[in-house]
A and B are shown apart, each in its own frame.
With several copies, the nearest count.
Chain A
């Protein structure tokens, strides 16, 4: 079981991260990944994620442990950016490798729903030169309820 959880304050290359992850799980038949990136368009000029070091990475690691416990995986990868990002830049990459496709899909989906709604990140967006903090979205709470 290969497991990597990373909180990155610098830009990362999701394609290269996935290549390395896939190379490390040759026994897995399938790998499901989710890549979240800063959307271009819609007027957002930049996005900033702040984290609180004593909580953020430990909680990501605890989430990864729950995912590994709930599904039978060959590997799990979680990389989350913190800091200021430009449109098009990657924010988060989750990948789950499993013998069975369904496990990989469910694990990646669960990990993303929980990262989005429960992780210790605070987000602000720069629109028309002004930074504003983003409140939690009701959709994220609904997504979470699917797993109860």
Chain B
């Protein structure tokens, strides 16, 4: 295992599970590019936010072995 991906909300349905391990990729953009096309397109929508190891990030960022990358659609409240 090299990177751990986490899918929240409706992205979970699209990904088929709430999380998966993927081979290492050096950046967030590279991780997204390696996803299946429909999921890749969905996580690139402007309202999707990203977190690396539990911290929100803006734009592309570099990744390290073992990082957890979360894909966060708009929240829908309690």
Contact = CB atoms under 8 A, between A and B. Distances in A.
**Direct A–B contact in complex, judged by CB atoms less than 8 Å apart:** yes
B8 A118 contact: no
Given A54-B54, A133-B10, A116 B74 contact: no
Contacts of A55: 51, 54, 56, 70, 72
Contacts of B9: 50, 122, 124, 133
Nearest to B18: A50
User: For the side of the interface on B, what is the size category?
Assistant: 20 to 34
Interface string B49-67: 0010111100000000000
Interface string A108-139: 00000001111111111000000001111100
A52 interface: yes
Interface residues of A, number: 27
A119 B77 contact: yes
B54 A116 contact: no
A140 interface: yes
B76 A136 contact: yes
Given A54-B54, A55-B51, A117 B72 contact: no
Contacts of A120: 72, 75
Q: Could you say which of A116, A122, A136 has the most chain B C-beta atoms within 10 Å of its C-beta?
A: A122
A54 B75 contact: no
A11 interface: no
A28 interface: no
Lowest 4 A-B CB distances belong to which pairs? A54-B54, A122-B9, A133-B10, A116-B77
22 contacts: A52-B8, A52-B70, A54-B68, A54-B70, A55-B51, A55-B72, A80-B78, A115-B77, A115-B78, A116-B78, A121-B76, A122-B8, A122-B9, A122-B10, A123-B76, A123-B77, A123-B78, A133-B9, A133-B13, A134-B76, A136-B74, A137-B76
